[in-house]
Amino acid sequence: MTSSNPPISGDTRLFAIIGDPIAQAKSPALFNRLFAELGANAVLVPLQVPAAQLPVAIAGLKALANLDGIVVTVPHKVAILEHLDLLGVHVQAVGAANCMRRLADGRWQGEMYDGAGFVAGLQAQDIQCVDQRVFLTGCGGAGKAVAHALAGAGIAAIRLVDSDPSRQHELARQLRAIHPRLQVSEGGHADTEHDLAINATPCGMAAGDPLPFAIDGLRPDAIVADLIMKPERTPLLLAAESRGHRIHLGRHLLENQAALVTRFFGLQETPVTASTPHPGENP
């Protein structure tokens, strides 16, 4: 292994991360460090893609023969499904994807590692999931992934809140169907019943954003987590820390999912879970 990336050349393999905004993305530095550790002649670059331009941007990226994979972030994790040929098992459960790769036959396969990365991050920080009671605000792509992964990791209960009632109801329906023993409730506030309170919304990324939820009803021993990467300590986490709560940073998710995505891109030897075809497609 080497400690630095090979010089960019004509045979360098390209990867991208797409989102809007993109300035907050910490993925390029992390992935490029992983690529260097693997000795891979590859580079990942950030691309700002507004939602309205996603179809034309994806068409253009797919046309680049030396582009092998794309990391997908806000706000494209659900809309990107329209541009995938194969849906991974996590994508099917969650209804969103956070990465996609080009297969040898030219088709594009998507997968979702936000949930697995979040749970792995908790475990790496010695935070248990089994029998915990969770408050989650944000039922979009990342929130869905986290909720499903936490349910699979053995939490006892989850309360879902989202500004879009339809997203909240749909995630609640999915969780009840797949995890019948899980106590699922909707609406309300983070309070003394919760062991872990999570922000899975973009609220806190921009200066002046209000707190995504009130924390004054939480028990002192409750943990407060934020999926936002930048700023590392969001207003929510700063407020929680000032009240004596243990906090869990968004970078723990990123650091733990990056290895999973890198393997998905084919740059590590560990096998990845096979995907099933998009409806109407043959494997």
Q: Which residues are known catalytic residues?
A: 77
φ, ψ at 242 (rounded to 5°): -65, -25
d(CA 138, CA 101): 27
* Tokens describing residue 43: 């580079």
Let me know: does 253 contact 275? Beta carbons within 8 Å.
Answer: no
Let me know: does 256 contact 124? Beta carbons within 8 Å.
Answer: yes
Listing DSSP states for 76-101 in one string gives -TTGGGGG-SEE-HHHHHHS--SEEE
Which residues are CB-neighbours of 213 under 8 A, at least 6 positions away?
Answer: 135, 137, 161, 189, 190, 197, 199, 236
d(CA 85, CA 58): 13
